[in-house]
Structure 1
Amino acid sequence: MPINVNLFSNLNRMALFLLIASIGAALYIHYQVDKTWLEQSYVYNIYDNQQGQKVYRYKGKELLVGELTPYQQSAINQQQLAKVTDKPALEQQWVVDHQDQIKLLKPAFHYGLWSLLPAFITIALCLITREPVTALLGGIVVGALMLGEFDLTDSVIIPNLANEGAVGLLLLYLWLLGGLLGIWSKTGAAQAFARHMTEHYVKGPRSAKLVSWFMGVLFFQGGTMSTVLVGTTVRPLADKAKVSHEEMSYIVDSTASPIASVIAFNAWPAYVQALLFVPGVTFLATEADRIAFFFASIPFSFYGIIAVIGTLLLSLDITTFSGKKIRQARERVLLTGELDAPGAKPLSAKELKSSMVPPDYRAHYLEFILPLAALVLTAIMTFVLFDAPKINWAFGAALLLSAFIALAKGMSLMDVMDGFGNGLKGVVVASVILMLAVVIGTLSKEIGGGLYLVSQLGEQLPFWALPVILQLITMVIAFSTGTSWGTYAVAFPLAMPLAWAVAQSQQLANPELFMMVCFATVLNGSVYGDQCSPISDTTILSSMTTGCDLMDHVKSQIVPATYAAIFAGFLWTLTVLLVA
């Protein structure tokens, strides 16, 4: 025991020293390091509305295009930004270039290599202390000081949490998800479902994992929705079948975004296509062309394909490529029956682990299945009607149906609300982590870490090296920021023109295929980084819904995910050498 105490004491001292040094560095950067400003351009599908105004759609809303300025006269084109010493004159400007292409210009900056400091300190503290809340707060402090924001609450945390996306996350994962899990715990619906599955379908750990894998593939919308839906569904039957939480969190996480990049009948193509325009490239000229290009590139999504196959192998108890941590977790369950490692701190609180069913209430497995069916149907119907699934509506429908069934079967309103309240308590810590992850991700993007990494590439690279370099850079960006879609916004507008310039300058025989491979490396490299990052929402939620310790999940998942990324990088390089 003294050895362990000394070890933890040394780690805490190391973490404290690292944080103090980073705060000092952040102050130095703010006062002494100049910003490097870069032009960022965005191309949207612009059309005339019924009033004859030029408009475009963004996040489901129709927005007006501003007054157009010739590109050469713009105050924030790259030529003008190169002269900026403090702050650009405009935050954005609509311009039209010499090819009559309309695009939105926005200035962005980075601090060079220093831009990676907030992400570095956050991840380092996570790994050293295994305590994500303090690690995220440390990264937020460092990022805020770099930007000269000394009022952390009013100038940094509250504004970042007050935006529509953060409020939506809080509503979904604290109220709707927490309330749904709480009511299921109160009614015993999850346990009834687990009993039914065990009696009829799940006969042991392998079949439980196969069911989980199949559900992950079935719900191919990707991201947080798939993670939460699959995690909450399979948790009770996997726990009953004695599957380690490390295995379950890996299966849930690795069949969320990876499968969405392969079975892309979801919101991804519509979002990504807006970032793919390259002047003079005919096969990326229109929105339809860019969406077709997305789907034509799917066979090159090697990481997504290999990651999903890797989880299938684990589900079949083939652990050759699963890594030491997952093999140890399997052996621990077989020897001790313990689903978590010693000293683990699962994100799912005790309120959601025990049944609090009233003595006279008898749950039926349909009380679990019907709300899930309502959730899925609502998501599908809203996707068809609005071109994007209304996740809050879906979880709200499931929550209301669960409560209605419980009341209709005779449970008192007081008991239902007690379950709802316990559900909120059960996910509050995970929700705090999620909100802090949103803040650090926003700060990292504003400070320009991803922008710096991508801007280091040059057109003199050998063409065969570009796909893997793009893969590595997007892996680092997404791992540092905890978001794949945020990485796409940074990487695609820079990577695609670069890939085309390399293809033209080195006279490749098949430039379109080369562009497809480079596109796939950015798409998949971002998925890898997001999937493995301890500050990613999908990482946090897959840990929370499966009951796993966050850092146990990160450490056990990163090995098989890295195997898949290495193999994918080899296949991308081989493809461009043989075909491009």
Structure 2
Amino acid sequence: MHYNKIALYLFFLSLLAAFYINVEIDPRWQEQQYIYQTYVNQNDELVYKLNQKEISVGPVVDYRDSPLRQTALASKGKPALDQQWVKMPDKRLLLLKPSFHYGFWSLLPAFIAISLCLLTKEPITALLGGTIVGAIVLGRYDITDKVLLPSISSDGAATIVLLYLWLLGGLMGVWSKTGAAQAFADYMTTHFVRGPRSAKLVTWLLGVIFFQGGTISTVLVGTTVKPMADKAKVSHEEMSYIVDSTASPIASVLAFNAWPAYIQSLIFVPGVAFLATEPDRIHFFFSSIPFSFYGIIAVLGTLLLCFNITWHCGRRIQQARLRALHTGKLDADGSKPLDGKELHKPDVPAHYTPKVYEFVLPLVILIGIAITTFIITGSPKVNWAFATALCLSCVIALVKGMSLDELISGIGNGFKSVVVASVLLILAITVGGINKEIGGALYLIELIGQQLPFWTLPVILQLLTMIIAFSTGTSWGTYAIAFPLAMPLAWAIGSTQGIAHPEIYMAICFAAVLNGSVYGDQCSPISDTTILSAMTTGCDLMDHVKSQLVPASIAALCAGILWTLSAFFLA
């Protein structure tokens, strides 16, 4: 109760501060440059590709005439345009977009959301509090119509509702109603899992195999292993940490996924030959993988946990392991698991006999479609995969004699089990969008725009991207802000200080941004992967956040030391 009062006072103070910012503080506008590969299509139109779609370039003006260049923004303030294509003096085409920030005040919504979450252990009210504060800073007092409705109707929120509420919830509900998940857990326990150690090792291996990263890996692994791990009496804190720490960290190391194609568009630096073309930048991404120290250490750290080596895991995970081992309790007293009680005990009709293939076949189809569509299109069609798996599970259940009413009842229970997590994800998208619009990330990056010893830059970039990603709950959003600013800064510092091996130095700085963002996203209570890791493994969200903070921070500390030494001795 004491912490709830503190949270209430803090929220009211933040509301006053938000009104003050909106009325008294003028935003500082900044030019943002975006580089895309432009080409002439079959219709003789100059276009570029974004998210696999062709978009027309439109009118192009000379850079010196653009109202979105930095000198114009500094003198005139808010521009009338939201973007404009320009031709630079060296003939390159760039897309300019204006952004702004309020100095350190830009960090207020993220600070409030995270502080309330830690104080109250209630993430929905915390995220809503951060959303309200951010909306007031932007002067959007009609929060329902001007903030929440646009966010709920966005493509990102629609994806959340379709995939994580309908498809994932429905699939989990069917598996619970048919007893398929429990049958699989029983089979794995009998043939492969001999106890908590082997259950954790199977989870780690699946996390490595599903190296697409982010929400895809989290959902696939968490959904697959939960019944097996519960059967083996593995604590939910351990499981959520293993699932979360083999999602984005492994994707930054085994980068045969969508990451290089997305990130390469953000790291062009004028005059740098090894970043000149798209193939050059993708090659640079893969050449930097040996410097992805955080991803490597995080994945190896979870492997140690699988063998019950916990010296690096902190007190919370150690206590959780012992609690599950000696008492059989998978959650701490007073915890509030995200997965819902509807799926804790299978409600299989008396006339129905569960079979292992009811779990395995839909899962194989799900993974097969995800991998096949990735190979063919370059992006896994996760919605197709989950929809097909759900339909197949329903058909099998009906063919085996389950009535339609019983099947719909199971699907309904599945929906109920993920409603809270879906609301959390939508609110996380909302507050993340507000944080980006207010410019907290821009402000943090601006702080390092000064002369620094070259060997200190990687760890500074790591720390700043950790803070940005932790505050916004997104690694990819952090990349979009940090890379276009960090890479030119790294090149400028390296050039002025006469570094012998600039490509190695740039790779080290690149890896620091890449991995620092992964750490911040992984540990943030407002991150979609953090929420999904807790949801799919049945863990309390704040128990997951607090328990994984120590091992993740140890991995980040080791990575920071290695980046500093690498920059000093190898660059």
1:385 aligned to 347, 356, 376, which one? 376
| One-letter amino acid of the counterpart of residue 250, structure 2 | I
> Aligned partners of 1:51 and 1:21: how far apart in 2?
57
Pairing partner for 1:35 from 27, 43, 50: 27
Amino acid at match of 2:497: Q
Count of aligned residue pairs for this structure pair: 571
What CA distance in whole angstroms lies between the structure 2 residues aligned with 1:52 and 1:508? Answer: 44
1:183/1:403 contact within 8 Å kept: yes
Q: Secondary structure at the match of 1:117?
A: helix
Superposition TM-score, scaled by structure 1 size: 0.98
Partner of 1:320: helix, strand, or coil?
Answer: coil
Whole-angstrom distance in 2 between the partners of 1:111 and 1:97: 29
Q: How does 1:45-60 map to 2 (within 5 A)?
A: 45-60=37-52
1:534 alignment counterpart: 525
SS at match of 2:266: coil
Q: How does 1:140-289 map to 2 (within 5 A)?
A: 140-289=131-280
The amino acid across from 1:292 in the alignment is: H
Matches for 1:94-109 after TM superposition, within 5 Å: 94-109=85-100
Aligned: 1:562 with 2:550: no
CA distance in structure 1 between the aligned counterparts of 2:45 and 2:140, rounded to whole angstroms: 39
The residue type paired with residue 254 of structure 2 is I
- CA drift of 1:55 comes to 1.1
What runs of 5+ residues in structure 2 fail to find an aligned partner?
A: none
Q: Deviations over 1:369-411 (max 9, x none)?
A: 1111111111112112221111111111111111111111111
SS in 1 for 2:355: coil
Gaps of 5+ in 1: 1-8
Structure 2 counterpart of 1:435, which letter?
I
Q: Within the alignment, does 1:62 sit opposite 2:54 as a pair? A: yes
Aligned match of 1:80: 72
Distance of 1:63 and 1:369 partners within structure 2: 41
Mapped to 1, the partners of 2:190 and 2:113 lie a distance apart of 45
CA contact (8 A) 2:31 2:70 kept: yes
Question: 1:84 deviation in Å?
Answer: 2.8
Per-residue Cα deviation, 1:71-92 (whole angstroms, up to 9, x for no partner): 111110111111133x212100
Deviation string, structure 1 residues 289-332 (Cα, Å, up to 9, x no partner): 11000000011000000000000000010001011100010111
Residue of structure 2 in register with 1:452 after alignment: 443
**How many Å separate the matches in 2 of 1:559 and 1:59?**
36
Query: Runs in 1 of length 4+ with deviation above 4 angstroms?
Result: none
Q: What secondary structure is seen at the aligned counterpart in 2 of 1:83?
A: helix
1:375·1:395 contact (CA, 8 Å) conserved in 2?
yes
1:463 & 1:343 partners in 2: Cα distance?
48
- Cα distance in 1 for residues equivalent to 2:89 and 2:507: 27
How far, CA to CA, are the matches of 1:270 and 1:65 in structure 2?
Answer: 20
Q: Write out aligned runs for 1:5-24 (5 A).
A: 9-24=1-16
Q: Which residue of 2 aligns with 1:443?
A: 434
Q: SS at the partner of 2:557?
A: helix
Distance 1:170 1:293 in 2: 36
**Matched residues in 2 for 1:224 and 1:339: separation?**
23
Q: Take 1:79 and 1:154, find their aligned partners in 2: how far apart are those partners?
A: 35
- Describe the superposition over 1:93-119 as per-residue Cα deviations: whole angstroms up to 9, x where unpaired: 001111111111000000000100100
Q: How does 1:119-518 map to 2 (within 5 A)?
A: 119-518=110-509
For residues 84 and 187 of structure 1, the distance between their equivalents in structure 2, rounded to whole angstroms, comes to 65
SS of match in other structure, 1:341: coil
Distance in 1 (CA, whole Å) between partners of 2:414 and 2:387 is: 14
- Structure 2 CA distance for aligned equivalents of residues 142 and 83 of structure 1: 29
- SS of the aligned residue for 1:272 comes to helix
Tell me, yes or no, if the aligned pair for 1:76 and 1:88 is still in contact at 8 Å. yes
Deviations 1:52-84 (A, max 9, x none): 111111111111112111111111011111113
Whole-angstrom distance in 1 between the partners of 2:49 and 2:378: 12
Q: 1:459: how far off? A: 4.1
Structure-1 separation of matches of 2:353 and 2:37:
54
Deviation at 1:536, TM superposition (A): 0.2
TM-score, with length taken from structure 2: 0.99
Q: Secondary structure at the match of 1:82?
A: helix
Is contact 2:180-2:356 (8 Å) kept?
Answer: yes
Q: Distance in 2 between matches of 1:100 and 1:387?
A: 31
Shift of 1:335: 2.2
State the Cα deviation string for residues 442-490 of structure 1 (Å, max 9, x = none): 0000000001000111241110000000000000000000000000000
Find out whether 1:578 has 2:566 as its counterpart.
no
Matches of 2:148 and 2:26 in 1, distance apart? 25
Q: Is the 8 A contact 2:197 2:306 kept in 1?
A: yes
Counterpart for residue 4 of structure 1:
none
Contact 1:459 1:502 in 2 (8 A): no
